[in-house]
Amino acid sequence: MAKVGYARVSTQDQSLELQIRILKDAGCRKIFSDTAPGSDTRRKGLNDLKQYLRAGDTLLVTRIDRIARSVLDLQQLVVYLKEQEIELRATEQPISTDSAAGKAFLDMLGVFAEFELNIRKERQLEGIAAAKAAGKYKGRKPTATPIKNQIIVMHQNHESISNIAKHCNVSRNTVYKIIREQFK
């Protein structure tokens, strides 16, 4: 039975140091971490953590919003941990998955974390709309036409999407978007 920690910050501008120190002080022998949005469930540190945890372990986080930002993600994680016989605890919040009251409080914190995320997104969209109305926000520059033509030619030559993206130094999503636009 080991205490295993997980720390997360959203951006490179933020520091993991404080969370890691708190988790070490709480007795964690091993700590996994990520620098990624909480809404991204494909975090490497989180996936490595899940592979590392064993039955009887306790997963420690400083706050619930460090591990999940949506109620659904949190509930899926709690179900997964329960199936694996792993307890979830937070150092700064009185929650634990080993009691009904702890689980109820955990669910409430998950609701508030998701609410906070949604409010932040709404404010961001409002700010973008205001900037567009004032003519200050132009959005991302469109992909240059020569690159679009190159992507189309490579696709017609049956190159893989990954190879096209790598060769043209664009994302796979950009390649898919350009290909879709070609057929409109």
Amino acid letter for position 170? V
The 10 Å CB-count burial string (b at 16+, else e) for 45-59 is bbeebbeebeeebbb
Q: Which residues have C-beta within 8 Å of that of residue 12, sequence separation ≥ 6?
A: 35
pTM over 0.75: no
Residues 105 and 116: beta-carbon distance below 8 Å: no
Residue 10 known to be catalytic: yes
Is the pLDDT reported for residue 2 higher than 70?
Answer: yes
Across the chain, what does the average pLDDT equal? 86
pLDDT at 142 over 80: no
- The rounded distance, in Å, linking the Cα atoms of 123 and 86 is 37
Give percent above pLDDT 90 in the chain: 38
> Cα 61 vs. chain centroid, distance in angstroms?
15
Is 80 exceeded by the pLDDT of residue 178? yes
pLDDT tens readout for residues 11-42: 888 889 999 999 999 999 999 999 987 667 67
Stretch (H or E) spanning 71? helix 71-83
**CA distances in angstroms from 81 to 7, 59, 74, 159, 179, listed in the order given:** 17, 9, 10, 42, 41
Other C-beta atoms within 10 Å of 74: how many? 23
pLDDT tens digits, 82-123: 899 999 998 988 777 777 777 777 777 778 777 887 888 899
Q: How much is the pLDDT for 101?
A: 78
Catalytic residue chosen out of the listed positions 10, 39, 70, 96: 10
